[in-house]
């Protein structure tokens, strides 16, 4: 039995119900303390559970205080969980691997010589830009109203990677771009994105053979994905991405305790996750 706490802010109660009630996984879901990250140095050494799922903000807090960080986490500048492994506590990022797997599956012939567009300036944006770079993209356009934060991210990546061309676009600048993109990685909800999100839905900057990736996890209708479907552009929804992330996370956390038919069978898990979410949409 593994203990877990969820700070992710990504439909925690729904995930808890799915894992404990629907799948009957050997997990103990612990209540969060009000001051969960008041002492980040301590929690990085004395994690009070086996795993702690992190929000973007929690990732930044712990990232700044960690003394040892795995290379794969440094590369993406983001951790989606703290995991106790062999009596040590590690920052880990399963979301990166989930994103890469699903992009390659959904669009195996994606043109990495074209431009990748990334929205936002937070931890997810850094991770998305890193995934695009690792896939071979060298032209990255950051779309954000927070230009100073975006510039700081660009400077970080310039130290980690070579031969990159970055551009930062503010609000209302997206619709004037040429149709030169093959990948859009969106980290913003419609509420967070405002004008930027509205402009995304025109998709005039993306080639017809491109791919739209929408990272936030939601049960609500999404104008961006609806428009992609309407004009025939491939898309990847947050429900798929986080389903894959969760399966990768659970496979690592539970290891030999992962029950059949989920152990070693991501397709079984993802199909059950999809069915579960569809029942919620109907209620």
Q: What is the per-residue pLDDT for 161?
A: 74
Closest CA to 221 of 281, 158, 148: 281
CA torsion, ordered 272, 274, 276, 280, to nearest 10 deg: 180
For residue 207 the two structure tokens come to: 């080639």
Distance between alpha carbon 146 and the CA centroid of its chain, in Å? 19
Reported as a pLDDT band with limits 50, 70 and 90, residue 28 is very high
Q: What is the CA radius of gyration of the chain?
A: 19
Give 115 or 162, the one with higher predicted confidence: 115
pLDDT at 283 over 60: no
Distance between alpha carbon 194 and the CA centroid of its chain, in Å? 20
Count Cβ neighbours within 10 Å for each residue of 145-176 and write b for 16 or more, e otherwise. Answer: bbeebbeebbeebeeeeeeeebebbeeeebee
Q: Is 139:249 a contact under the CB 8 Å cutoff?
A: no
Can you tell me which residue has the tokens 């050997």? 26
Q: Is the dihedral of CA 136, 121, 55, 183 positive or negative?
A: negative
> Does 261 sit behind a cis peptide bond, omega within 30 degrees of 0 on the bond before it?
yes
pLDDT at 248 over 60: yes
User: Angle at Cα 219 formed by Cα 189 and Cα 197, nearest 5°?
Assistant: 20
For residue 122 the two structure tokens come to: 């937070």
pLDDT at 282 over 90: no
Phi, psi of 243 (to 5 degrees): -60, -45
Distance between alpha carbon 99 and the CA centroid of its chain, in Å? 7
Reported as a pLDDT band with limits 50, 70 and 90, residue 270 is very high
Phi, psi of 212 (to 5 degrees): -105, 125
pLDDT at 52 over 90: yes
Q: What is the per-residue pLDDT for 114?
A: 94
Mean pLDDT of 243-248: 96
In percent, how much of the chain has pLDDT > 70? 99
| Residue-wise pLDDT tens digits, 29-42 | 998 877 778 899 99
Can you tell me which residue has the tokens 């961006």? 224
Averaged confidence pLDDT in the chain: 90
CA–CA separation, 245 and 242 (whole Å): 5
Reported as a pLDDT band with limits 50, 70 and 90, residue 162 is confident
Q: Is the dihedral of CA 74, 76, 81, 85 positive or negative?
A: negative
Q: What is the per-residue pLDDT for 51?
A: 96
């Amino acid at each position: 039995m593994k203990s877990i706490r969820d700070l992710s802010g990504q439909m925690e109660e729904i995930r808890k119900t799915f894992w404990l009630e629907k799948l009957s996984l050997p997990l103990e879901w612990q209540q969060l303390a009000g001051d969960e990250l008041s002492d980040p140095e301590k929690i990085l050494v004395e994690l009070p559970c086996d795993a702690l799922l992190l929000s973007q903000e929690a990732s930044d807090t712990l990232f700044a205080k960690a003394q040892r960080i795995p290379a794969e986490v440094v590369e993406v500048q983001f951790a989606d969980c703290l995991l106790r492994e062999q009596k040590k506590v590690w920052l880990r990022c399963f979301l990166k691997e989930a994103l890469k797997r699903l992009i390659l599956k959904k669009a195996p012939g994606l043109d990495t010589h074209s431009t990748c567009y990334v929205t936002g300036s937070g931890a997810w944006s850094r991770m998305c830009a890193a995934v695009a770079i690792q896939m071979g993209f060298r032209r990255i356009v950051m779309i954000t109203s927070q230009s100073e934060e975006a510039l700081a991210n660009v400077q970080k990546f310039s130290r980690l990677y070579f031969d990159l061309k970055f551009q930062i676009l503010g609000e209302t600048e997206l619709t004037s771009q040429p149709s030169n993109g093959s990948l859009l990685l969106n980290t913003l909800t419609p509420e967070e994105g405002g004008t930027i999100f509205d402009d995304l839905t025109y998709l005039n900057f993306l080639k017809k053979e491109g791919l739209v990736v929408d990272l936030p996890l939601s049960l609500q209708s999404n104008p961006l994905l609806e428009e992609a479907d309407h004009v025939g552009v491939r898309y990847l929804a947050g429900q798929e991405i986080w389903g894959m992330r969760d399966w990768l996370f659970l496979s690592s956390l539970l290891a030999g305790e992962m029950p059949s038919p989920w152990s070693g069978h991501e397709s079984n898990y993802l199909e059950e996750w999809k069915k579960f979410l569809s029942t919620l949409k109907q209620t």
